[in-house]
């Protein structure tokens, strides 16, 4: 809208397709629409789109409201999203109670005082929303009674139903038809000025979201945030188990931070998050101490935590069963195979250093008194021993002290050939 004002555009066409959003964000958008010196046309499109929840309020705020066939609006009942922080009662009017999202149903323990407080908060929030949407309807001359019904009863309307109920002004199949219908209409913009629209042959300039907005839209998808969180956690676990690998630690840290940032923007249930972490810990323990029971418990805790992670019933805030199942299977396999391999590698005998030299055969090169030189492991070594050996004799490495081998006479091995 700022660009439209700078370029003296004829109209701003706001294409809407949303399940809703935060109350604070919705009010910011509506404030910009109401203060815009350029007429704003809300258009719910394409067919199959909807302007639910906050989208209904935004559509009601626009100077002209239009919908494509096969779209719908309504279900504008505000509800609280997200679970309270541990130790806080569910009804505490913290920041979470300010940001509302449609469709959330909360299940709280039966407590008369809490239920009474919750009912009071619900009535307060609902009445505020009703007053707000009625004021928008009266400002734009639209059906205020249906708008109130959309808030109190979550009522919805199709495109034709909205037109007949005077909730919108136009139904247009596409953008070209919409521009033809807009041509010649008179609207009142900020400051009380009236403007006649001339859109019949207008040149349309599309303004797409910037890369930051697109990036945030991707990572705040609950499924993407969930996957990022899991990749981050297991990347760090792999790095701690295999120091020096670098790549898993770097990728894990980046994914974990992005995932945590996304979760901060989403309504999460801390009990679900705790269950997921318990599941990850149990799967890690299973890798080091296979018992089956611990691993099974880890998978169950992980899946239940993932199902409880988001406390919103509205569209767009669900984790896909495929994502949960695939992630649980992949990371269970990761814990059992990769971490198990690291555990076995950590317990395996050393292949370098003093431990690796013990018991190896060595050939005496020269000997004088109690010391001399031997050839072992492809190298010439200084050696000491309590016995006297002859050049060419095969001995056995007993230990390594600094850079000197302590040798002893090799035990007799019948039926074996030479040492290779």
Same domain, 203 and 232: no
Tell me the CATH number at 405.
Answer: 2.40.50.140
In a domain, 70, yes or no: yes
For the whole model, what pTM was predicted? 0.60
**Residue 250: other Cβ atoms inside 10 A:** 12
* Digit-coded pLDDT (tens) for 60-86: 999 999 999 999 999 998 876 544 433
Higher pLDDT, 240 or 80: 240
Task: For strands 72-74 and 50-52, give the pairing.
Answer: parallel
Average pLDDT over residues 14-22: 89
> Which residue, of 184, 207, 230, is where some domain finishes?
207
Same domain, 175 and 316: no
Average pLDDT over residues 35-44: 94
Same domain, 236 and 160: no
E strands along 307-376, which residues? 361-368, 371-376
pLDDT at residue 284 tops 90: no
Same domain, 72 and 132: yes
CA nearest to 317, candidates 87, 121, 154, 79: 79
> Which residue, of 295, 314, 347, is where some domain finishes?
347
In a domain, 192, yes or no: yes
In a domain, 226, yes or no: yes
- Domain limits at 236? 221-347
In a domain, 256, yes or no: yes
Q: Using the Cα atoms of residue 305, residue 309, residue 311 and residue 316 in order, give the sign of their dihedral.
A: negative
Both tokens of residue 255? 């994914």
Same domain, 201 and 235: no
E strands along 300-416, which residues? 361-368, 371-376, 379-384, 394-401, 404-409
Where does the pLDDT of residue 40 fall: very low under 50, low under 70, confident under 90, or very high at 90 and above? very high
pLDDT at residue 418 tops 60: no
In a domain, 215, yes or no: no
């Amino acid at each position: 809208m700022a660009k439209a004002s700078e370029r003296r555009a004829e109209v701003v066409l706001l294409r809407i397709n949303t399940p809703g959003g935060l109350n604070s964000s919705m009010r910011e958008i509506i404030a910009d629409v109401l203060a815009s010196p350029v007429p704003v046309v809300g258009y719910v499109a394409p067919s199959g789109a909807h302007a639910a929840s906050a989208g209904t309020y935004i559509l009601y705020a626009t100077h002209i409201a239009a919908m494509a066939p096969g779209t719908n609006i309504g279900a504008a009942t505000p509800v609280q999203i997200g679970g309270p922080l541990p130790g806080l009662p569910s009804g505490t009017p913290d920041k979470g109670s300010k940001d509302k999202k449609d469709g959330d149903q909360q299940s709280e323990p039966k407590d008369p005082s809490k239920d009474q407080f919750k009912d009071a908060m619900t009535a307060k929030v609902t009445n505020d929303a009703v007053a707000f949407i009625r004021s928008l309807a009266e400002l734009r001359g639209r059906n205020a009674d249906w708008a109130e019904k959309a808030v109190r009863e979550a009522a919805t309307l199709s495109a034709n139903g909205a037109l007949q109920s005077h909730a919108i002004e136009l139904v247009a199949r596409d953008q070209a038809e919409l521009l033809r219908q807009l041509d010649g209409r008179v609207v009142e913009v900020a400051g009380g000025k009236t403007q006649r629209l001339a859109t019949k042959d207008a040149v349309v300039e599309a303004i797409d979201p910037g890369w930051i907005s697109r990036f945030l839209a991707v990572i705040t998808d609950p499924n993407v945030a969930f996957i990022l969180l899991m990749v981050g956690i297991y990347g760090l676990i792999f790095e701690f188990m295999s120091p020096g690998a670098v790549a898993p630690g770097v990728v894990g840290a980046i994914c974990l931070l992005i995932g945590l940032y996304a979760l901060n923007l989403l309504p999460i249930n801390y009990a679900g998050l705790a269950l997921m972490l318990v599941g990850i810990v149990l799967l890690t323990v299973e890798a080091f101490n296979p018992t089956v029971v611990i691993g099974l418990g880890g998978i169950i805790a992980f899946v239940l935590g993932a199902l409880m992670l988001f406390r919103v019933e509205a569209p767009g805030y669900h984790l896909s069963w495929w994502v949960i199942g695939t992630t649980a299977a992949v990371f269970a396999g990761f814990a059992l195979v990769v971490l198990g391999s690291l555990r076995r590698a950590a317990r395996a005998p050393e292949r370098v250093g003093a431990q690796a030299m013990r018991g190896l055969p060595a050939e005496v090169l020269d000997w004088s008194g109690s010391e001399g030189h031997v050839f072992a492991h492809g190298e010439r070594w200084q050696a000491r021993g309590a016995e006297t050996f002859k050049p060419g004799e095969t001995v056995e490495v007993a230990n390594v002290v600094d850079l000197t081998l302590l040798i002893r006479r090799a035990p007799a091995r019948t039926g074996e050939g030479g040492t290779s």
